[in-house]
Amino acid sequence: MTGNLLSEISELEADSAPAGRYMAAFARGGTSALIANATSQPMVLQIDTQSLPVTVDDGGYGRSYVASPHSAYVLYAREEMDLVGMQRGRRIAKAALAVLDQALRTVRFNQAVHLDNWFLSTNLHGDWTGSNLPDCRQLLAERFPEHFLILRSLDAWSSPKLLEAARGDGWILLPARQIWIVEDLARDWRPRNNYDNDRRALARSGLIVEDMERVCPSDAERIAELYRMLYVDRYSALNPMFTARYVSLTSTLGLLSYRVARNGDGVIMAVAGMLERKGVMTPTVVGYDTSRPQSEALYRIVSFMFCSWASERGLALHGSAGAASFKRNRGARGEIEYMAVQVDHLPAYRRQVIRALAHLLERIAVPMMRQEGW
């Protein structure tokens, strides 16, 4: 096995790969300066010819689900019941979540190391197929014998080989959410009436669309504000709270591509920040001025902005989760996404809780996701 785990700032800065430059910025300024509701220790795993970002958490609750599995499966699930207006089975679901809350606290599920974690709601794994996953597991389990090892954002569409590698290496697959994907935008999105309706909404708005080469500090502040309005204030404080420094960093590194819509005064009214890997794009930083009237159709305009960005480049769209009917009407189909958890190095009681959770989610949650469109 050839592998090396980098944690010192000088080591991270010496790694010229995207993961090294990205995680070096978190190490220099502190994770919470870039993502306000995350406190993870940033590292990079160098394995073979790859550099993979690693985040280490030793507990704590109420932080973003991008590095807190307890938040993903308990806190966000509680909020989701309100977001989707769940009525049928609500009392039973709340009771079940109370039991799960205690169980996950008991096994210290937030004592976790996330592999290939970019602090994003969707980690696109690109061309990493997981052929070296057993070596990654061995190295991380030796270094962190008390931590759960976690791989987020696995699905049979965008990362089929990595998903199978995790299954073959004995990782437990926890169903996480239903994502919405468009494999061919020219075929599945452009011919629909909603394409023309959204395009006309943008034309009527008078907004000017701009692809930003670099994001200046004032625009970074506005982009972070618009994202917060939508994903934190309106949806959930468990979504990653990207700061203006994060927006500037991802623009400078070229990790995200930003497309904005400005009004006649030059003020940004809507933004889409896109991550692209191996022919797949996902809109990672999305926001608009939620104080404006719904009649201005800013959400539809944002959707058109990132869909057209992907279409212009011949990319498939990973539309993340939520807004099921909106996305289906624009050609998307559902796919179940998984969180892979490695527990073989942990005591039996910690392993058993996660295995039981996987069984229950597969039997109960997955059918509900498919039926309800969650």
Which CATH number belongs to the domain containing residue 190 in this structure?
Answer: 3.40.630.30
**230 CB-contact burial (10 Å; exposed 0-12 / middle 13-18 / buried 19+):** buried
pLDDT reported for residue 87: 55
**Structural domain count of the chain:** 2
pLDDT reported for residue 191: 94
Q: Whole-angstrom Cα distance, residue 174 to residue 73?
A: 10
Cα–Cα nearest to 268, from 298, 313, 232, 311:
298
pLDDT, the chain, mean = 94
What is the edge-to-edge ordering of all strands in the sheet holding 148-154? 3-6, 41-47, 50-58, 111-115, 148-154, 333-342, 172-182, 316-318, 280-288, 268-277, 257-262, 208-212
196 and 314 fall within a common domain: yes
132 and 246 fall within a common domain: no
186 and 255 fall within a common domain: yes
3-state SS record for 2-20: CEEEECCHHHHHHCCCHHH
Greater confidence (89 vs 277) lies with 277
pLDDT reported for residue 367: 80
Residue 40 has pLDDT above 70, yes or no: yes
pLDDT reported for residue 322: 87
pLDDT reported for residue 287: 98
> Which residue range(s) make up the domain with 22?
3-178+337-372
Residue 93 has pLDDT above 90, yes or no: no
Residue 345 has pLDDT above 60, yes or no: yes
160 and 201 fall within a common domain: no
CA angle 316-154-337, nearest 5°?
85
313 and 286 fall within a common domain: yes
135 and 31 fall within a common domain: yes
245 and 290 fall within a common domain: yes
pLDDT tier at 84 (50, 70, 90 boundaries)?
Answer: low
151 and 201 fall within a common domain: no
Cα–Cα nearest to 106, from 153, 82, 159, 70:
70
Residue 89 has pLDDT above 90, yes or no: no
Residue 54 has pLDDT above 60, yes or no: yes
* pTM, to two decimals: 0.94
173 and 195 fall within a common domain: no
- Could you give phi then psi for residue 245, rounded to 5 degrees? -65, -35
* Mean of pLDDT values over 36-42: 98
pLDDT in tens, 124-183: 999 999 999 999 999 999 999 999 999 999 999 999 999 999 999 999 999 999 999 999
257 and 312 fall within a common domain: yes
* Mean of pLDDT values over 267-278: 98
195 and 162 fall within a common domain: no
pLDDT reported for residue 374: 60
* Mean of pLDDT values over 259-287: 98
Q: Whole-angstrom Cα distance, residue 293 to residue 316?
A: 31
pLDDT reported for residue 370: 80
pLDDT reported for residue 354: 97
Candidate from 15-24, 94-103, 164-173 with smallest mean pLDDT: 94-103
pLDDT in tens, 197-214: 999 999 999 999 999 999
pLDDT reported for residue 3: 87
pLDDT reported for residue 360: 92
The crossing angle, in degrees rounded to 10, of helices 160-168 and 133-143 is: 60
Q: Whole-angstrom Cα distance, residue 350 to residue 27?
A: 30
Residue 251 has pLDDT above 60, yes or no: yes
Q: Which residue has the tokens 């009525």?
A: 87
296 and 196 fall within a common domain: yes
